[in-house]
Amino acid sequence: MKNGLRIGKLGRQLDIPAYTIRYYERLGLIPQPS
């Protein structure tokens, strides 16, 4: 779950819930980690 950890880390830095980040990723607004 490398991506999950990265998303969680990013969320803590920006104070954004992980599910919000995943939602934006699904919309294509945030490049998904490869």
If one counts every other C-beta atom within 10 angstroms of the C-beta of residue 12, the result is 11
User: Is 0.75 topped by the overall pTM?
Assistant: no
Residue 11 belongs to domain spanning: 1-28
Residue 12 lies inside a defined structural domain of this protein: yes
Instruction: Report the pLDDT value the prediction gives residue 17, as an integer from 0 to 100.
Output: 77
pLDDT tens string 9-26: 766 777 777 778 778 778
Is 7 exposed, middle or buried, given 0-12, 13-18 or 19+ CB atoms closer than 10 A?
buried
Residue 33 lies inside a defined structural domain of this protein: no
Q: How confident is the model at residue 7 (pLDDT cuts 50, 70, 90)?
A: low
Instruction: Report the pLDDT value the prediction gives residue 4, as an integer from 0 to 100.
Output: 62
Domain count, the chain: 1
